[in-house]
Amino acid sequence: MTPTQFTASFDGFRLASWRRQAEDGGSRFLLLVHGGASNHTRWSEFVDTTSLTRQWTMLCPDMRGNGASMTRGRQDLELWCADLRDLLAAEGAESAVLVGHSLGANIALRFADLYPDQTMGLVLIDPLFRNALKGRQLRIYRLRWLLWALAGGVRALNALGLYRRQIEDRDLRELDAETRAAIGNDVSFQEIARRYGALGPILKHMPTANYLRQSLESFRPLPAPDGIAVPVLALLSGGTTLSHLDITRAEIERFPDGELHVLEANHWPITETPDAVREAIDDWVSGRFAESC
């Protein structure tokens, strides 16, 4: 993928993105949206292996507050959606199919609500519906007011010049390879959660206030699924420790034009079952949007 930058029209922020041009030179776009405490490398393996690159241009931004788009400024669903809108405009794209994981799925769903004319379809990988939270995510949600206060305190310290000057890059493709090697030795779903959800490793790669704000944004109410008119593919992890599968399934079934696949994974299926994720996305996108080929 080729790195690019563009200036968001909202406030002039320079957002980093990566691009892989469709091999046939066409003008259809797949916009890949990573989750919280992540970056564009979440999609590196998918982009290198998907058959969709023949006819679809891949766009992989580092969402504001992550990776090469680092900032300690404002971060919320509406601003992230505005950044994606501006990215599509910078690429000359009238619309795109958005693929999002976790918080990225929530961003994609909010984008479809805010900008329906620029949304061809959605692929939602383990979206986080607030009424479906369980375990650690539910405990964090119940402490959300404390977290808001903590985030405000950390930002106040940042404003006084007290913050880390160096934030380490995180190559999620490399971490995925290490994790899959461990999965081969029968690592449990709980161990997967520890590798990707443990606070210590996460905070090596992002400011503390960013982590707190992105966590809190994942608890925001989402648009009603029955108001989303575009085609939707939902990929859900059957063994997730973050949310109740039955409640999430019920929410997905409310989409007027939705399709659901359940994968044998724990919220990180792009890591745990990459072939199944790729095949599901390839087949669905190729089938649903074949008329525009």
Position 188 scores a pLDDT of 66
Residue 42 CA to its chain's centroid (Å): 9
- Cα distances from 185 to residues 137, 159, 270, in angstroms, run 27, 46, 18
What is 2-292's CATH number? 3.40.50.1820
Position 293 scores a pLDDT of 43
Distance CA 284, CA 147 (A): 39
- Cα distances from 290 to residues 28, 56, 88, in angstroms, run 12, 12, 21
Distance CA 20, CA 75 (A): 26
Hey, where are the domains in the chain? 2-292
Distance CA 102, CA 270 (A): 11
Distance CA 118, CA 98 (A): 10
Position 84 scores a pLDDT of 97
Q: Which residues of the chain have pLDDT under 70?
A: 185-190, 291-293
Position 185 scores a pLDDT of 66
Instruction: Report which of 85, 122, 101, 81 is spatially closest to residue 40, judged by C-alpha positions.
Output: 101
